[in-house]
Amino acid sequence: MQELGRLSHLREFRKGQVIVAQGDDATIVGNVVTGVVKLTKMSVSGQQQIVGLLFPSDFFGRAFSDNSRFSYEAATDVSLCCIDRQAFESFLLRFPEVKHELLLTVLDELDATREWAAMTSAHTTMERIAVFLFILSKRSAGSYCENGTKSERTVIALPVGRRDIAAYLGTTPETLSRNIQTLVRKHVIRPLDANSFELLDSAGLVDHTSESRDDLEAMLGVAPRIR
Amino acid sequence: MQELGRLSHLREFRKGQVIVAQGDDATIVGNVVTGVVKLTKMSVSGQQQIVGLLFPSDFFGRAFSDNSRFSYEAATDVSLCCIDRQAFESFLLRFPEVKHELLLTVLDELDATREWAAMTSAHTTMERIAVFLFILSKRSAGSYCENGTKSERTVIALPVGRRDIAAYLGTTPETLSRNIQTLVRKHVIRPLDANSFELLDSAGLVDHTSESRDDLEAMLGVAPRIR
DNA sequence: CGCTCATTTGACAGAAATCAAAAGCGGTGG
DNA sequence: CCACCGCTTTTGATTTCTGTCAAATGAGCG
């Protein structure tokens, strides 16, 4: 672990900067320290699809492949703990335990991605949005409250702009906006400022997802990450 | 490899039989020898979502996890090369090279799943159907190659019923049927029997996907599999 | 203040789900 | 061989939803 620390270094990227471009040599890997990273893919028509959002502690980059099939782009200002990909790979060879952890992480990630894919393709737009908000509420709750009492205000902070969220959920900013306003009218959430809401009715939100709470929790980022 | 052969054994399942149930102890892993396996997930409402389809040479089961988050079900009569999960795991510990291969496989699978997810969430129904048919045409092209006769005719064999395909593509049997008939009317495909079509116009099919041929090929199962 | 960009709202057309019914297919048993 | 039954697939009519286009509102900033 100390050795991993020696090999890695902290780098900062401004919002909008491309960290690794699709098709490029993926020379670095690492994990997110602060901020949010967009995992994107350019379609033929030139519009970018959001494949995933990476939050602090999430791993980014593609080990054991010479070119990345996706782009990694700073969705906000971010700081990343970076390691040269080659160095990381040879490090893995010397520390099989870490490599084993990586395997477990990737297996979990595959499961989570499959759950997400099943969810997005089988649900209505409102359901997808509700699931997304639910996940965000849990993400942010993790940093604040250990007791789930309703006295705590649960804040849902949108990490990126509406356009990106809409692309991530496979819809448009307009439809996203309409559905959010519907939830506001139903007093499920309450706007705090442009990019954050208070969750007023957690059960109501779950109702809109048409998923069980168990399945929702399974979709949270669950894996213990490297470092 | 010989040792792996000793540990594994061939098992047959009839169409509809459940190989590993969601939530169950996943006691076996292995790969598909013949037939097609459905990877599914039950939603709260009781309807099953199709998360993936596994073809011959595809790996099934979940190593390093005590219970499976998905069900594995025989979509057709299948024969599987099965290994006890524990035995497989201890085998991996003794043969790091194989474990490395598994890691590469899972990484590729994660990429392919992400591409699939991006595709399904950002495309119209016709585009999803066209992509699915394209992938099937490539899949079956591979397995029929041994047939000696280099056939001009490319056969697309639907491995499961329309209901399952519709669920996989995030649509309904009705819409699926309408779009297939549209392709038939446009002479892109021609029905051979209830579950197979001849591909008449490969370029026309690609046109309907609104994807580049490169991206399509990236979505094929590409990884070299264990055993 | 005036500019730009992001978000919201409105009107509308198109696509897909739903509801309903007909046609095709495979079995079973007379 | 044929009639019957259950099931899947196809087709049709209708409604709902969502994307698109357009315009208004609001937020950040020099």
Kindly state whether residue A80 falls inside one of the protein's structural domains.
yes
For B28, the domain range is 2-96
- Residue B194's pLDDT is 86
- State, as a whole number of angstroms, the distance between the CA of B25 and the C1' of D21: 53
Higher pLDDT, B45 or A125: A125
Among A52, A60, A53, A48, which residue's Cα sits nearest to residue A157? A53
H or E, element range at B101:
helix B96-122
Q: Please report, for the domain that includes residue B195, its CATH number.
A: 1.10.10.10
- Spatial separation of the C-alpha atoms in residues B153 and B191, rounded to whole Å: 12
Query: A148: number of CA atoms within 13 Å, CB side?
Result: 5
Q: Are A68 and A16 members of one domain?
A: yes
Is A211 in Cβ contact with B118 (below 8 Å)? Answer: no
Q: Are A62 and A131 members of one domain?
A: no
- Which token pair is A173? 């900013």
Q: Are B132 and B89 members of one domain?
A: no
Q: A75: distance to nearest CA of chain B, Å?
A: 18
Contacts with B169 from chain A: Cβ below 8 Å: 121
Kindly state whether residue B23 falls inside one of the protein's structural domains.
yes
Contacts of A80 (CB under 8 A, 6+ apart): A10, A11, A12, A13, A19, A30, A31, A32, A33, A37, A60
- Which token pair is B78? 């299948």
Kindly state whether residue A108 falls inside one of the protein's structural domains.
no
With distances taken from each CA to the C1' atom of nucleotide D27, the closest residue turns out to be A194
Q: Are B161 and B191 members of one domain?
A: yes
- Residue B5's pLDDT is 82
With distances taken from each CA to the C1' atom of nucleotide D18, the closest residue turns out to be A175
Residues in chain B: 227
Q: What is the pTM of this model?
A: 0.88
Among A113, A29, A35, which residue's Cα sits nearest to residue A74? A35
Q: Give how far the C-alpha of residue A46 lies from the chain's centroid of Cα atoms, to the nearest Å.
A: 23
- State, as a whole number of angstroms, the distance between the CA of A151 and the C1' of C29: 69
Among B137, B121, B126, B133, which residue's Cα sits nearest to residue B210? B126
H or E, element range at B183:
helix B173-185
- Which token pair is B164? 């399952």
Q: Which residue of B has its CA nearest to A122?
A: B170
Q: What is the tens place of the pLDDT at every residue in B80-137?
A: 999 999 999 999 999 888 899 999 999 999 999 999 999 888 889 999 999 999 999 8
Q: Are B40 and B126 members of one domain?
A: no
> Which of the four pLDDT bands, split at 50, 70 and 90, describes residue A213?
confident
Contacts with A167 from chain B: Cβ below 8 Å: 122
- The per-residue pLDDT of chain B, averaged, comes to 86
Q: Which residue of B has its CA nearest to A50?
A: B118
Kindly state whether residue A147 falls inside one of the protein's structural domains.
yes
Q: Give how far the C-alpha of residue B190 lies from the chain's centroid of Cα atoms, to the nearest Å.
A: 23
Q: Residue for token digits 């599999």?
A: B225
Last residue of a domain, one of B37, B65, B96: B96
Protein residues bordering strand D (Cβ below 7 A): A 124-126, 170-172, 174-175, 179, 193-194; B 161-163, 173-174, 176-178, 180-181, 194-195
Contacts with B120 from chain A: Cβ below 8 Å: 117, 120-121, 170
Nearest CB partner across the interface for A117, out of B117, B122, B210: B117
With distances taken from each CA to the C1' atom of nucleotide C25, the closest residue turns out to be B194
Q: What is the tens place of the pLDDT at every residue in A24-63?
A: 888 899 999 999 999 999 877 778 889 999 988 899 999 9
Q: Please report, for the domain that includes residue A38, its CATH number.
A: 2.60.120.10
Kindly state whether residue A199 falls inside one of the protein's structural domains.
yes
- State, as a whole number of angstroms, the distance between the CA of B174 and the C1' of C16: 10
> Which of the four pLDDT bands, split at 50, 70 and 90, describes residue A107?
very high
Contacts of B148 (CB under 8 A, 6+ apart): none
**DSSP secondary structure letters along A50-113:** EEEEE-TT-EES-TT-SB-SSEEEESSSEEEEEEEHHHHHHHHHH-HHHHHHHHHHHHHHHHHH
Residues of B with CB under 8 A from a CB of A: 39, 41, 43-45, 49-52, 62-65, 69-70, 96, 99-100, 102-104, 106-107, 109-111, 113-118, 120-122, 167-170, 210-212, 215, 218
- Which token pair is B186? 């446009």
A123 forms bridges with which residues in the sheet?
A: none
Q: What is the tens place of the pLDDT at every residue in B204-223?
A: 999 998 888 888 887 776 44
Q: Are A77 and A151 members of one domain?
A: no
Q: Are strands B28-34 and A196-199 parallel, antiparallel or unpaired?
A: unpaired
Kindly state whether residue A175 falls inside one of the protein's structural domains.
yes
Q: A123: distance to nearest CA of chain B, Å?
A: 8
Q: How many domains does chain B have?
A: 2
Q: Are A32 and A66 members of one domain?
A: yes
Burial of A183 (0-12, 13-18, 19+ CB in 10 A): buried
Q: Which residue of A has its CA nearest to B50?
A: A118
Q: Are A92 and A144 members of one domain?
A: no
Kindly state whether residue A44 falls inside one of the protein's structural domains.
yes
Residue A49 sits at φ, ψ, to 5 deg, of -95, 140
Kindly state whether residue A117 falls inside one of the protein's structural domains.
no
- Which token pair is B109? 């699978």
Q: Are B160 and B75 members of one domain?
A: no
Q: What is the tens place of the pLDDT at every residue in B175-203?
A: 999 999 999 999 999 999 889 999 999 99
Nearest CB partner across the interface for A44, out of B63, B168, B210: B210
The set of strand C positions with any atom below 7 Å of a protein CB reads 6-11, 15-20, 25-26
Is A212 in Cβ contact with B64 (below 8 Å)? Answer: no
Q: What angle do CA A120, A124, A129 make, to 5 degrees?
A: 70
Q: What angle do CA A180, A184, A186 make, to 5 degrees?
A: 115
